[in-house]
Each structure stands twice: as structure tokens, then as C-alpha cells.
Amino acid sequence: MNLKKLKQAEEAFFNRYPGGFENPEMMEIGKKHKMDKMIAFAQEGFVRRNFKLPELIVDNMIKVVSRSSMVSLFEKPKFRDYANSLPPKSKKLLASGLEGILHGKEQQGFETMLDVLKSGKLAKWSLMTICQTYFRPEFDVYIKPTTAKGVIEYFELKNLQYKPTPSWPFYDEYHSVINEMKSKVDASLSPSNAAFSGFLMISMQGRLS
């Protein structure tokens, strides 16, 4: 990690947006993402007891994907139609994968969910990481390909090589690095990991000059 670039980005962000994410301009941008509502829905919808009802879990996954401002409009209907078309056994597998990610063996859950989405040619980073992004907003990381590739290149994350097909080793390492980067800057830059990724994205886009 290039710590100098990260600290420069931090300084430039606070110069451009005094108060950081409490700046009125940033708060206005934040309203579009409805993070509070999405977090509340995910934390209620994916509470552990609900996983006794796989159909409900899959329905809630569809709602999260459909309502999220971070998932592309192109991917939303594809996920909805595929998830709705799954037979009961596959819905149970998809739900158990998410249960593992959120409440159990994370790697096993990730790989189970990945296998189900691969069958529908929907093994996308966005779909693999969106539910946990809202369920554990200060811990899990949403991976948007353009942002992830940019962060790796701009901040010189030498141990990471982005690949379009999701994999647990990449997620685990990227997640660790993002949380390490958070620890090197002011805590106000990470009210959530999604917000922190937004800060990194803005920094790379040259919008702070």
C-alpha cells in the first residue's frame, strides 16, 4: 500500500469537503444511496432465524439487489428472474450460502453462493458482495470492479490481482486491505465501508483539486 498517496487523498478530501461525510454536499450525495434504509432492511431481513425459510431469504436478496443504488440496472432484472426461477433445492443452496457468509463459515458460504450464481452465469462481484455490505456495513466490503481495479493500481496494492470471476482468496485479501487502509486515516472517512470506498473512488477520479 502506498501510504503517502492515501494520506494525500485524506488531506485533499477534507480540503474539498470540510467535515468529510458530514459536509452538506456529501450528505446530499449520500441521500441517493438510502444507506440507513438499506442497512435496516438487510439486518432485519437476514436475521438468523429467517434462514429457516429459504424462499423468504431469496426474496429478500432480490429486494436488496433491486433496491440498491450500487448494483447496475443491467444486473438487477437478471438476478431477479434467475433467483425466482430457481427450483426449491437451489433456492435452499443460495440461502444457505448467504447464511454461511453472514452467520457461519464465511468461505464455505461464499463458495456455495458462487456455485449457484455460476449456474446462471451471474457470478458477478456486485451480486456476491451486496447483501453483506448492508448487513455488516462497517466490516464487509462491496466490490465494484472499476473501483477495485482502480484502488489496486492507484494505491499500489502489490499482493492483489483483480479478476472478473469472484473468488474467496481475492475477497478475503481485498477486505483485509480495505480495513487496514481505514485504520490509517481519520475514522470519519469510514462511517461505512461503502462510504470509505466512495472516498477512495473520489480520490482516484481527480475530483479533489
pLDDT over 60 (residue 150): yes
> pLDDT tens across 81-107, in order?
999 999 999 999 999 999 999 998 999
How do residues 200-209 score in pLDDT, each as one tens digit? 988 887 654 4
State residue 206's pLDDT score. Answer: 65
Torsion of CA 205, 143, 155, 35, to 10 degrees: 60
Helix 88-103 × helix 54-67 angle, to 10°: 70
Whether the pLDDT of residue 141 is over 80: the answer is yes
Grid cell at residue 120: 446462471
CB contact burial 37-56 (16+ within 10 A = b; e otherwise) = ebbebbeebbeeeebeebee
Instruction: Please give the model's pTM, rounded to 2 decimal places.
Output: 0.88
Alpha helices in the chain (DSSP H): 3-16, 24-31, 35-45, 54-67, 75-85, 88-103, 106-119, 125-135, 145-154, 168-183, 193-204
pLDDT tens digit sequence for 28-84: 777 777 888 999 999 999 999 999 999 999 999 999 999 999 999 999 999 999 999
Among the listed residues 154, 153, 196, the one whose alpha carbon sits nearest the alpha carbon of residue 175: 196
C-alpha of 139 from chain center:
10
- How high is the pLDDT of residue 42? 96
Q: What is the pLDDT of residue 80?
A: 96
Residues 114-138 pLDDT 10s: 999 999 999 999 999 999 999 999 8
Select, from the ranges 3-7, 96-100, 149-153, the one with the highest average predicted confidence (pLDDT): 96-100
Structural contact between residues 168 and 107, judged by C-beta atoms closer than 8 angstroms: yes
Q: What is the pLDDT of residues 159-197, one digit of tens each?
A: 889 999 999 999 999 999 999 999 999 888 888 888 898
Q: Are 82 and 127 in contact (CB under 8 A)?
A: no
